[in-house]
């Protein structure tokens, strides 16, 4: 069996303990191996993996962990899982409607109200309140965030509290797409050509604006075409566009500069700069990693279907990847090398890249768990709960989750993206859709009556995500196509 033991210095260790020794084979395992020779040893493997994960969960129970920022309502499953695991959640951030619902439902044990967009003030206020509450509630055992906007604040607080997490420099570098590429190049990890640019909206007069445009033209010629213009910090492809010439680039620069401001997304309050980056050809993918003390303990690679250009709006994904095994390995290895080069040491990471004609290249690094469907998909396909593993990493609990050799299911999903501005008049989802083969779920990002504008999501708006499964990739794709054919969205 595996026991949880606490050493003299207070560290928790998982220790294997022999209960008894038998001078014969395990009868149950022997019989199963005889009946299913193609799965020889598999049953014991699952049994041992279950024991190990149970021991890790026992070590996590009762730990007091600071979660910085709640994110949006879609993050609720993280808090539910923390409660199930017996984690004492200390949440720091603004008290919006979502947070109020978490507190009401008993999913938060202690709440510290702070305006996380004002990093210095929030850092001081949270640290002060934690110091005072420690006398009553005990010390913190870990810190993490599942929300992109709060990665840097989390790193600063981890430094103040002397808890394991990415360093502030690493967090700041990962938040900046430009600094990410600079760091990769400095660490001899292959990176794309790139230039950092001031937001044109910062120009205070016509002369400054003209000078900024001239600077931009020179930068565009250095990067070359095609290229991608996007915010230096951001998420969900907001303000991202492919450009094929200087003229297109200048037009996009003017348009995206106006879009990248806090009114569009609060994330831009901290940084409204833009980056012009070499366009990478090839197959796009995401690698989800769990890092503990600078080393990977889990990885999963997801295929991203071709984005809709020029705005790079996501169109769909599939898990597990259908890339050749050698390309999958190269992509995962490149993601791990990038994470190490950037100094991302503890927690769940979401690394986005492309398998180009010159090999895998990192597009951007996200020092937090992937959003939308990532958590649920990885759990369904590999049986690994990334929220649970993020909490394990925060608490410094060793070991690694069990990843089966074969996926438990193949998942395929498509986004329904509006192709014109207007108002959603109807979302038609017949009742029998939910009983169709392979149906998993439909996520509604927009609802009837919502307005869709050309500025949203870098040009268009996501209305739905339709998800289906199957015993292999081909069956999942067929099931998805059949379900999609039944669904209509009316925009006028």
Q: Quick one: 281-407 is in which CATH superfamily?
A: ATP-grasp fold, B domain (3.30.470.20)
- The pLDDT tens digits for 470-491 are 999 999 999 999 999 999 999 9
Amino acid 178: pLDDT = 82
CATH of domain 64-163: 3.40.50.20
pTM tops 0.75: yes
For 46, 381, 388, the CA distances from 405, given in Å and listed in that order, are 11, 11, 21
Partner residues linked to 283 by β-bridges: 355
In this predicted structure, the answer to whether residue 182 has a pLDDT above a threshold of 60 is: yes
Q: Quick one: 409-492 is in which CATH superfamily?
A: Aldehyde oxidase/xanthine dehydrogenase, a/b hammerhead (3.90.1170.50)
As a whole number, mean pLDDT of residues 312-319 equals 91
Greater confidence (67 vs 234) lies with: 67
Greater confidence (331 vs 459) lies with: 331
As a whole number, mean pLDDT of residues 154-175 equals 96
Determine how β-strand 88-93 pairs with β-strand 110-113.
parallel
The answer for residues whose C-beta is within 8 angstroms of residue 362's C-beta and 6 or more apart is 180, 184, 189, 191, 334, 335, 338, 351, 352, 353
Amino acid 48: pLDDT = 78
Amino acid 264: pLDDT = 62
The domain 193-278 having CATH identifier 3.30.1490.20: the answer here is: yes
Amino acid 300: pLDDT = 98
As a whole number, mean pLDDT of residues 362-380 equals 95
Least confident of 8-17, 81-90, 213-222, 281-290: 8-17
The answer for residues whose C-beta is within 8 angstroms of residue 294's C-beta and 6 or more apart is 340, 345, 346
What ranges make up the beta strands (E) of 176-271? 194-197, 227-231, 241-243
- The pLDDT tens digits for 425-444 are 999 999 999 999 999 999 99
**8 A C-beta contact, residue 408 and residue 395:** no
Structure tokens belonging to residue 105: 């439902």
- The pLDDT tens digits for 317-349 are 999 999 999 999 999 999 999 999 999 999 999
As a whole number, mean pLDDT of residues 444-464 equals 78
Amino acid 335: pLDDT = 97
In this predicted structure, the answer to whether residue 454 has a pLDDT above a threshold of 80 is: no
The percentage of residues in the chain with a pLDDT greater than 90, rounded to a whole number, is 68
Taking the domains of the chain in order of start, what are their residue ranges? 64-163, 193-278, 281-407, 409-492
How confident is residue 201, by pLDDT bands cut at 50, 70 and 90?
A: confident
In this predicted structure, the answer to whether residue 23 has a pLDDT above a threshold of 70 is: no
């Amino acid at each position: 069996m595996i026991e949880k033991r606490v050493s003299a210095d207070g560290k928790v260790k998982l220790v294997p303990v022999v209960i008894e020794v038998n001078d014969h084979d395990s009868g149950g395992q022997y019989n199963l191996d005889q009946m299913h020779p193609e799965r020889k040893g598999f049953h014991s493997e699952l049994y041992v993996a279950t024991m190990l994960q149970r021991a890790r969960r026992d070590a996590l129970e009762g730990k007091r962990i600071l979660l910085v920022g709640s994110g949006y309502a879609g993050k609720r499953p993280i808090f539910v899982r923390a409660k199930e695991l017996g984690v004492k959640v200390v949440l720091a951030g603004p008290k919006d409607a979502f947070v109020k619902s978490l507190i009401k439902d008993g999913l938060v044990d202690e709440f510290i109200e702070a305006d996380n967009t004002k990093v210095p003030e929030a850092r001081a206020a949270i640290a002060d309140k934690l110091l005072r509450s420690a006398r009553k509630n005990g010390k913190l055992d870990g810190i993490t965030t599942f929300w992109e906007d709060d990665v840097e604040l989390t790193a600063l607080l981890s430094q103040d509290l002397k808890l394991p997490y990415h360093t502030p420099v690493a967090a700041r570098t990962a938040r900046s797409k430009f600094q990410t590429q600079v760091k990769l190049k400095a660490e001899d990890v292959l990176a794309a050509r790139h230039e950092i640019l001031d937001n044109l909206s910062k120009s205070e007069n016509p002369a400054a604006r003209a000078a900024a445009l001239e600077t931009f033209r020179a930068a565009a010629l250095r990067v070359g075409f095609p290229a991608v213009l996007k915010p230096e910090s951001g998420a969900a492809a907001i303000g991202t566009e492919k450009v094929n010439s200087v003229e297109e680039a200048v037009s996009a620069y003017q348009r995206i500069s106006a879009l990248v401001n806090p009114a569009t997304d609060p994330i831009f309050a901290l940084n409204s700069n833009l980056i012009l980056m070499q366009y990478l050809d090839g197959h796009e993918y995401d690698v989800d990693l769990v890092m503990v003390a600078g080393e990977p303990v889990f990885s999963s690679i997801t295929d991203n279907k071709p984005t809709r250009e020029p705005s790079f709006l996501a169109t769909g994904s599939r898990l597990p990847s259908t890339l050749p095994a050698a390309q999958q390995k190269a992509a995962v290895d490149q993601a791990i090398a990038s994470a190490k080069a950037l100094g991302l040491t503890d927690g769940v990471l979401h690394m986005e890249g492309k398998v180009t004609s010159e090999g895998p290249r990192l597009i951007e690094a996200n020092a937090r768990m992937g959003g939308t469907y990532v958590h649920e998909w990885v759990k369904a396909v590999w049986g690994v709960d990334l929220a649970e593993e993020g909490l394990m990493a925060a608490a410094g609990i060793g070991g690694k989750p069990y990843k089966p050799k074969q996926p438990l299911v193949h998942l395929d999903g498509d986004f329904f993206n509006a192709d014109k501005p207007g108002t959603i008049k109807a979302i038609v989802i017949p009742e029998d859709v939910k009983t169709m083969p392979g149906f998993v779920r439909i996520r509604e990002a927009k609802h009837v009556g919502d307005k869709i504008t050309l500025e949203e999501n870098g040009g268009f708006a996501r209305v739905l995500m339709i998800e289906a499964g199957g015993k292999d990739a081909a069956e999942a794709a067929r099931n998805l196509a059949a379900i999609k054919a039944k669904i209509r969205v009316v925009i006028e």
